[in-house]
Amino acid sequence: MSLSVDIRHRLGAFSLDAVFETGGRLTALFGPSGSGKTSLVNLIGGLLRPDEGRIVAGGRVLVDTGTGVFVPKHKRRIGYVFQDARLFPHMTVGQNLRYGRFFTPASERYGDMDGVVELLGIGHLLDRKPGSLSGGEKQRVAIGRALLASPRLILMDEPLASLDEQRKAEILPYIERLRDETKIPIVYVSHSAAEVARLATDIAVLDNGRVAAAGPTSEILQRLDLLPAEERSEGGAVLEMRATGRDETFGMTTLASPAGEIHVAGLEATPGSTVRVRIRARDVIVATERPRGISALNILPGRIAGIASGNGHFADVTIDCNGEAVSARITRQSAEMLGLAPGLPVFAVVKSVTFDRANTAKTVPFAGDDRNARGRVE
Amino acid sequence: MSLSVDIRHRLGAFSLDAVFETGGRLTALFGPSGSGKTSLVNLIGGLLRPDEGRIVAGGRVLVDTGTGVFVPKHKRRIGYVFQDARLFPHMTVGQNLRYGRFFTPASERYGDMDGVVELLGIGHLLDRKPGSLSGGEKQRVAIGRALLASPRLILMDEPLASLDEQRKAEILPYIERLRDETKIPIVYVSHSAAEVARLATDIAVLDNGRVAAAGPTSEILQRLDLLPAEERSEGGAVLEMRATGRDETFGMTTLASPAGEIHVAGLEATPGSTVRVRIRARDVIVATERPRGISALNILPGRIAGIASGNGHFADVTIDCNGEAVSARITRQSAEMLGLAPGLPVFAVVKSVTFDRANTAKTVPFAGDDRNARGRVE
Amino acid sequence: MQWLLDLTPDEWNAVRLSIRVATVAMVFSLPPGILIALLLARGKFWGKSVLNGLVHLPLILPPVVTGYLLLITFGKRGPVGAFLDQYFGIVFSFRWTGAALACGVMAFPLMVRAIRLSVEAVDRRLEAAAGTLGANPLWVFGTITLPLILPGIIAGMILCFAKAMGEFGATITFVSNIPGETQTLPSAIYTFTQVPGGDEGALRLTIISIIIAMAALVASEVLARRVGKRLDVE
Amino acid sequence: MQWLLDLTPDEWNAVRLSIRVATVAMVFSLPPGILIALLLARGKFWGKSVLNGLVHLPLILPPVVTGYLLLITFGKRGPVGAFLDQYFGIVFSFRWTGAALACGVMAFPLMVRAIRLSVEAVDRRLEAAAGTLGANPLWVFGTITLPLILPGIIAGMILCFAKAMGEFGATITFVSNIPGETQTLPSAIYTFTQVPGGDEGALRLTIISIIIAMAALVASEVLARRVGKRLDVE
Amino acid sequence: SGAVAQEKVTVFAAASLKNALDAVNTACEADVGEQATVSYAASSALAKQIEEGAPADVFMSADLDWMKYLSDKNLIKADTETKLLGNSIVLVAPADSKIEAKIEKGFDLAGLLGDGRLAMANVDAVPAGKYGKASLESLGAWASVEGKVAQAENVRAALALVSTGEAPLGIVYKTDAAADPKVKVVGTFPEDTHPPIVYPVAQTADSKDDDTPAFLKCLQSAKAKELFEAQGFTVLAPVVSN
Ligand SMILES: Nc1ncnc2c1ncn2[C@@H]1O[C@H](COP(=O)(O)OP(=O)(O)OP(=O)(O)O)[C@@H](O)[C@H]1O
Ligand SMILES: Nc1ncnc2c1ncn2[C@@H]1O[C@H](COP(=O)(O)OP(=O)(O)OP(=O)(O)O)[C@@H](O)[C@H]1O
Ligand SMILES: [Mg+2]
Ligand SMILES: [Mg+2]
């Protein structure tokens, strides 16, 4: 499944000129407020007709101003979670949830109502009208409504913005499963680097209507310079690792890669499976000698590949750990004190609790046209 | 300035029964979606009239069903940032911003339009109508509108939810200054523990319409058990420290407390001033011997005061650093490997970059009734 | 009370006929009313002003003129009337159907305006949302737009009904005043006002007319409240 | 064109008078129209149904009856008319002010309905937001509610104006048909239709009446569009 | 401008008099010293307005009933009441109609109508309708056509029904029929079959305008008679010379 966007569109004084292509399962749109994320999603969803350009999703031309193709929105089979929930005020929550389902041929339906309702914790709201729901409740119903339409393309515009961490923690795995177990491509707008790092297979960074960068998550997150200053502490290395062992006493999983072994708590991964692990630059301590007697379990030996300290007080150190790059963000003072220089052998020290549960690659195999072979959720 | 709430109110099947008192400058309302935060704010703001109870803010009785007092909302002089921006659709952004100002006697106005507009980055939007603003732009205008009304009580319902980190980083210091330099009490609803930890002087945790806990931020955040599981990694110690020195070469500030010295990058604090520093439990490494040759600058010696490991894979270690408590969250495996036990002398290792810019205490002295002595912003 | 209900058979006929005419006028002008309200609120086409003007015409013209125009258009020899008669067997002249047509035409501007105001108040983003969920424009209209404009539709209907209960100038000019066929309550009332000493009869029929219209009005308010409650806003 | 404008002085008077009457009726029924629309849309009070019924009465009654009721109420010898005359020196009977009153009353239900529909569509949370910013209820009304119901107000005004341009049954019954004083365009048209050979004159005045009303209609649409643009939604 | 009554003679006249009275009014300007202001409306409305204190000096009704209504209430100066004009009623058909008939006792009006309707002004309220009904009754035709009568609001509306072909036959004033080229007169109803068709005139009791007697007098002048007759009316009152 691929998404290819090449469009130009004017909105008042704002002009969107976005070109990118992604083959990923979940493409995150990332960028500051007003950079054109919602507009881009509206173009993909058919709510806006571009002044010029072409959008192709999974081989299907959704719009092409050159040939005059414009698939109307109701034929795109999208599940759009709007930034403003947009629930139908005259229907109950239950009716809102069932709305899209009604228009889906029974044979193409997936996801079951009860499961989604339970996941989102909106069972007690089914008979209410949306008018008096709380902000987070509205948002959850909006997510449910979009998912239950059994879409072939999911567009989510900051779906978790008004939810508490607990709720997010419940919903994120579901989105991961959607991403991994079904073949439905997802376009996901978020301001949270943590969310993006966890969910996205690909990222497109928007800035003032232009695509500043686009590519696989590991690439984009590693390039701290692509991220806005405040997001950089969320940036870092993404390593593909293999689960090699499991300690049941402490619930620890051992992951291995050429860079070395790391130990992760609370990760359910069958030995042998591949796991993506993100190591945030701000969570890495650089040591010139192997530390002893410390609680941090993960100590990766390596050599300094480069030091960048353009930005004020901090230095971004890249460590080559047996061919894999790990980034560390430390103070300039530390870098100087430790006498860090390219080529110096060092240790990257990481606390295990800072690992996110990462993208496991145990997806159903991709099989030709996604219309025929669709995975089932629940 | 104090806020005392003791109300009962029914909304359909939901019942709010909230009792708490806070003397803090910024009280955060924290709790899961649907727990009644917005309803409580609406009661304080006068948008709802409680079935029963009493709300007193800064000695002024806003509502008391016992004596029949109900100050109408337009006389409460509040600046309410709504969860849904609620901009006036028929006015330009500029008119929206000036709306509340118009109703404020000139002598009681504070904050200047240009400053707020620049802070929020909405200068280019002043002549637009709100209808076509992006989600984040709406939110920023809503913040500006509330602040420019020169309120005596600020209510913010998830004001930063739809903003990117960069924007948040620009706006947070402003809210801090509001909190510290003026005497305007702020009630702040947020789902983000990081935001709350950074901003709040006091926290009230709501759960299903009841106040589960209320008190100063340091107390609530230290009690990890009060936080929902997913927020716990944001919990930790809050230390009051004194700025003692400044290294201009690296832009580092040295802070001292009985627990020891720590070094912070990028903090502007005049020597001698008091600074509140939060040390997140998940950012603390426990070492049984003083680590050498590492980039982490802050090593606080202490003794283990307690270990709690109720919850699965992790152990929460409390370290007594010369009378001050520092929390560390490490894996159970590490705790066992290092042989940690109460009484053991250890070192708490903290990377300096994980410090948030904290609550500086260089506020204008509190002087009696806040109506007479009001600090000025900008 | 007895005095009130002590009506002649012709008067009873007029009561029944008025209710029938008002109901039929209300029901049959609803679909075109909704259509034209939609066109005026949302359409962008050449001649929109002309359509708008045409819709308002019955309001602007003295009823007698409207009646006369109906007569020469929908009458037996009128172009439309002759056509409808020949191909569909629909005859308006001197029939109660003609009275309903006249009432419908006279009330049409009121109905269109009420519905149009509601259409203009609809948040089109909700319609877009329904579209993304797979509803084609017709379904969107039926499931989103229509329920949201119900207040306007109800208002339009009650205005039409009330107007039809009072309309008389165009009706009597178009289909005249045939007891049992086209003599509606207002025609009967008018007749009473034209004879010296007819005041009592006029008063009686007027009160009956008011009672009927008030019942409809109260019903419409109840309905509107119920529809409003369905929105269940703060 | 010359043919159209070749009017007698009395007819010119009727044109001028009609515009004046329609304008005055529109302007003066606006404040009570807004007030009552607000009451009906938001008020909760005993007798609301009665008020609602009263407002609709001119629609339900045959215009002749309304005119007659005005005559016996606001006439020189009527209770209200005598009172107003004695204490305020306001006289309606057989004056153009009476014609304006009649037109205003006849158009009142239309105006109230249009405004009421708009009031009901206002998002009250915006009013609450204005309240928190320090605006007392009156300011909230002036700065939030009023601008938001402008579409309804404009619709109500144009309905009132158009209706006043066509109203004649109540007017002629209440204030008669005195050239230069109470003879509005519709009355003049009516007079023409009552005599042989009057058709041409009636047609001429009808066309003039349509032109005036259409100009008002177009102006109202332009105004409404401008107001709509002020909302600047997606 | 509330002083209409003081400045000019104000006449409340039945609408059907408009053409004739406008002409007479112009002709009388010299005699009266000014043109009268004429308010044309239905006799019923005018009568009730006078009852409510309308500033009318002269009332010209389309029938005797409304004049009597006012005189019974002492609202007119009884000595000024004059039966001024007369008219006759005729049976009309569309100009292209083939119908021919002689109006006499027992004539088959129902047969002539076939499925069609007989257009008349309201037979209970409007004078022309009342006269027509009386005529048909005395001719013995009423019972057979009663169910086929389409009662219009006024004579003009009845005439319109015939001239548009809606109704094959109608009963209207001769004055109206004569002026409409789209109808033809089939026959005139004999005068003795209905009460006399009379347009009475009188000065109102409240009238204060000094010119009113002059105006009333002019209505009965020779030149007025000429103008009334030009419109098809018969002048019933004797000519009063100056
Ligand atoms: N008018 C009402 N009728 C019934 N229930 C209501 C009403 N208003 C609010 N509620 C319910 O009260 C609860 C609290 O709502 P509130 O908006 O205060 O939550 P919140 O804490 O702000 O949540 P969120 O974080 O999602 O915004 C919700 O479950 C909501 O559905
Ligand atoms: N109809 C319009 N007229 C003028 N400007 C518009 C219009 N619609 C959108 N814009 C502008 O285009 C820019 C992009 O808007 P968009 O909603 O796509 O931003 P976004 O990236 O989703 O931002 P956010 O994160 O704040 O939601 C904004 O600056 C917005 O003000
Ligand atoms: Mg957006
Ligand atoms: Mg809320």
The predicted-structure confidence for A60-78, as pLDDT tens digits, reads as follows 899 999 999 999 999 999 9
Ligand 1, atom 17: closest residue by C-alpha: A134
| Rg for chain C, CA atoms, rounded | 20
* B78 with D147: Cβ contact below 8 A: no
State the pLDDT at residue B193.
77
Q: What are phi and psi of B45, to 5 degrees?
A: -80, -10
């319902």: which residue's tokens? B157
Q: What band does C55 get if pLDDT is binned at 50, 70 and 90?
A: very high
Whole-Å CA distances, D77 to A188, B326, D80, E73, E208: 77, 93, 9, 15, 18
Residues ≥6 apart with Cβ < 8 Å to C89: none
Q: Does B contact E via 3+ CB–CB distances below 8 Å?
A: no
Q: Work out the average pLDDT over C190-205.
A: 83
Helix axes C96-121, C150-166, angle to 10 degrees: 150
Mutate to test the pocket of ligand 1, among A134, A140, A143 (most ligand atoms within 8 A of CB): A134
Atom of ligand 1 nearest to the CA of B206: 21
State pLDDT tens for residues B300-349: 888 888 887 765 677 888 888 888 888 888 888 888 888 888 888 888 88
Question: Residue E79 has what DSSP assignment?
Answer: G
Do A294 and B287 touch, CB atoms closer than 8 A?
Answer: yes
Nearest C-alpha neighbor of B98 from the set D135, D123, A33: D135
The conformational region for residue D126 under phi > 0 = left, psi -120 to 50 = alpha, else beta, is alpha
């003007």: which residue's tokens? C53
CB atoms within 10 A of CB B11: 16
Question: Residue B152 has what DSSP assignment?
Answer: S
Q: What H or E segment, with its residue span, contains residue B109?
A: none
E11 in helix, strand or coil? strand
Distance in Å, CA B84 to ligand 4 centroid: 9
E158 neighbourhood in chain C, CB within 8 Å: 176
Nearest C-alpha neighbor of C159 from the set C120, C118, C115: C115
**Touching chains, D (3+ CB pairs < 8 A):** B, C, E
Cβ B372 under 6 angstroms from ligand 2: no
Which pair of tokens denotes residue E136? Answer: 């048909």
Q: Does E contact A via 3+ CB–CB distances below 8 Å?
A: no
How far apart (Å, rounded) are the C-alpha atoms in residues E97 and E100?
A: 9
Residues ≥6 apart with Cβ < 8 Å to A269: A243, A253, A255, A275, A360
Does domain B238-362 fall into CATH 1.10.1200.10?
A: no
Cβ B103 under 6 angstroms from ligand 1: no
Identify from C168, C182, C194, C199 which residue to disrupt to test chain E contact, counting E C-beta atoms within 10 A and taking the largest count: C194
Strand-strand pairing, A284-287 and A345-350: antiparallel
How far apart (Å, rounded) are the C-alpha atoms in residues B109 and C14?
A: 70
Domain spanning B3-236, CATH class: alpha beta
* C126 with A86: Cβ contact below 8 A: yes
**Alpha-helix residue ranges (DSSP H) falling in chain B:** 37-45, 93-102, 113-120, 135-148, 165-181, 193-199, 217-222, 332-337
How far apart (Å, rounded) are the C-alpha atoms in residues E60 and E202?
A: 7
Which amino acid is located at B245 in the chain? Answer: G
Q: How far does chain B reach from its first CA to its final CA, in angstroms?
A: 21
Q: Work out the average pLDDT over C22-43.
A: 95
Residues ≥6 apart with Cβ < 8 Å to D86: none
Question: Residue E193 has what DSSP assignment?
Answer: G
State pLDDT tens for residues B274-301: 776 777 777 788 888 888 778 777 888 8
Nearest C-alpha neighbor of A93 from the set A48, A55, A148: A148
How far apart (Å, rounded) are the C-alpha atoms in residues A259 and A281?
A: 16
Which amino acid is located at D141 in the chain? Answer: F
Which pair of tokens denotes residue B194? Answer: 């990081």
B79 neighbourhood in chain D, CB within 8 Å: 132-133
A329 neighbourhood in chain B, CB within 8 Å: 353
* D71 with E48: Cβ contact below 8 A: yes
The closest ligand to the CA of B164 turns out to be 2
What is the three-state SS of D51-69?
HHHHHHHHHHCCHHHHHHH
What is the three-state SS of chain C?
CHHHHCCCHHHHHHHHHHHHHHHHHHHHHHHHHHHHHHHHHHCCCCCHHHHHHHHHHHHHCCHHHHHHHHHHHHCCCCHHHHHHHHHHCCCCCCCHHHHHHHHHHHHHHHHHHHHHHHHHHCCHHHHHHHHHCCCCHHHHHHHHHHHHCHHHHHHHHHHHHHHHHHCCHHHHHHHCECCCCCCCHHHHHHHHHCCCCCHHHHHHHHHHHHHHHHHHHHHHHHHHHHHHHHHCCC
Which pair of tokens denotes residue C53? Answer: 């003007």
* C177 with E161: Cβ contact below 8 A: no
How high is the mean pLDDT of chain B? Answer: 81
Which amino acid is located at B221 in the chain? Answer: L
State the pLDDT at residue B372.
30
- Would you list the domain boundaries of chain A? 3-236, 238-362
Give the CA angle between residues D121, D122, D128 to the nearest 5°: 150
Select from B137, B168, B297 the Cβ nearest to the Cβ of A331: B297
In D, residues 162-191, which contact B (CB 8 Å cutoff)?
none
A28 in helix, strand or coil? strand
Q: What are phi and psi of C28, to 5 degrees?
A: -80, -25
Asked if A127 is an interface residue toward chain B (Cβ–Cβ < 8 A), one would say: no
A45 in helix, strand or coil? helix
E15 neighbourhood in chain D, CB within 8 Å: 190-191, 194-195
State pLDDT tens for residues E179-225: 788 899 999 999 889 998 999 999 999 888 788 999 999 999 998 99
Q: What H or E segment, with its residue span, contains residue D222?
A: helix D199-231
Question: CA of B92 to nearest chain D CA: how many angstroms apart?
Answer: 9
Does domain D2-233 fall into CATH 1.10.3720.10?
A: yes
Question: CA of C81 to nearest chain D CA: how many angstroms apart?
Answer: 22
Q: What are phi and psi of A128, to 5 degrees?
A: -85, 160
In A, residues 167-186, which contact B (CB 8 Å cutoff)?
167-169
Nearest C-alpha neighbor of D206 from the set D169, D156, D180, D168: D168
Give the CA angle between residues B307, B313, B315 to the nearest 5°: 15
Instruction: Judge if pTM exceeds 0.80.
Output: yes
Asked if E116 is an interface residue toward chain C (Cβ–Cβ < 8 A), one would say: no
Atom of ligand 1 nearest to the CA of A135: 27
Do E78 and E177 touch, CB atoms closer than 8 A?
Answer: no
* E19 with D197: Cβ contact below 8 A: yes
| Rg for chain B, CA atoms, rounded | 22
B331 neighbourhood in chain A, CB within 8 Å: 250, 252, 263, 265, 295, 297, 352-353
State pLDDT tens for residues B59-78: 889 999 999 999 999 999 99
Which pair of tokens denotes residue D60? Answer: 């339900």
Q: What H or E segment, with its residue span, contains residue D6?
A: none
**Touching chains, A (3+ CB pairs < 8 A):** B, C
Nearest C-alpha neighbor of B236 from the set B285, B195, B282, B281: B281
Which amino acid is located at B153 in the chain? Answer: L
Asked if E103 is an interface residue toward chain C (Cβ–Cβ < 8 A), one would say: no
* E175 with D78: Cβ contact below 8 A: no
How far apart (Å, rounded) are the C-alpha atoms in residues E198 and C195?
A: 16
Asked if E164 is an interface residue toward chain C (Cβ–Cβ < 8 A), one would say: yes
Task: Calculate the CA E92 to chain-centre distance.
Answer: 17
What is the three-state SS of B188-237?
EECCCHHHHHHHCCEEEEEECCEEEEEEEHHHHHHCHHHCCHHHHHHCEE
Ligand 2, atom 4: closest residue by C-alpha: A12
Asked if D6 is an interface residue toward chain B (Cβ–Cβ < 8 A), one would say: no
pLDDT at B1 over 80: no
* C53 with D202: Cβ contact below 8 A: no
Q: What H or E segment, with its residue span, contains residue B343?
A: none
Which pair of tokens denotes residue E228? Answer: 């009334």
How far apart (Å, rounded) are the C-alpha atoms in residues B363 and D222?
A: 56
* B191 with A32: Cβ contact below 8 A: no
D136 neighbourhood in chain B, CB within 8 Å: 72, 74
How far apart (Å, rounded) are the C-alpha atoms in residues B274 and A289?
A: 35
State the pLDDT at residue E136.
92
Asked if D111 is an interface residue toward chain C (Cβ–Cβ < 8 A), one would say: no
């955060």: which residue's tokens? B28
State the pLDDT at residue A361.
34
List per-residue pLDDT tens for chain D, 234 residues long. 677 777 788 888 889 999 999 999 999 999 999 999 999 999 889 888 899 999 999 999 889 889 989 998 998 888 888 888 888 888 888 889 999 999 999 999 999 999 999 999 999 999 999 999 999 999 999 999 999 999 999 999 999 999 999 898 899 889 888 888 888 999 888 888 887 777 888 888 999 999 999 999 999 988 888 887 655 443
Give the CA angle between residues A120, A121, A124 to the nearest 5°: 135
How far apart (Å, rounded) are the C-alpha atoms in residues C185 and C211?
A: 12
Cβ A67 under 6 angstroms from ligand 2: no
* E125 with C172: Cβ contact below 8 A: no
Cβ-based burial of E77 (10 A; exposed 0-12, middle 13-18, buried ≥19): middle
How far apart (Å, rounded) are the C-alpha atoms in residues A164 and B28?
A: 14
Which amino acid is located at D206 in the chain? Answer: T
- Would you list the domain boundaries of chain C? 2-233
Q: What are phi and psi of B332, to 5 degrees?
A: -60, -35
How far apart (Å, rounded) are the C-alpha atoms in residues A37 and A209?
A: 8
Identify from D50, D65, D149 which residue to disrupt to test chain C contact, counting C C-beta atoms within 10 A and taking the largest count: D65
Atom of ligand 1 nearest to the CA of A139: 26
Mean pLDDT by 10 residues, chain A (378 residues): 89 92 88 92 94 91 93 92 92 94 87 89 92 92 93 92 83 85 87 81 90 84 59 64 78 81 74 74 82 79 81 78 82 82 86 48 30 29
State pLDDT tens for residues A24-55: 889 999 888 899 999 999 999 999 999 999 99
Give the CA angle between residues B75, B80, B81 to the nearest 5°: 165
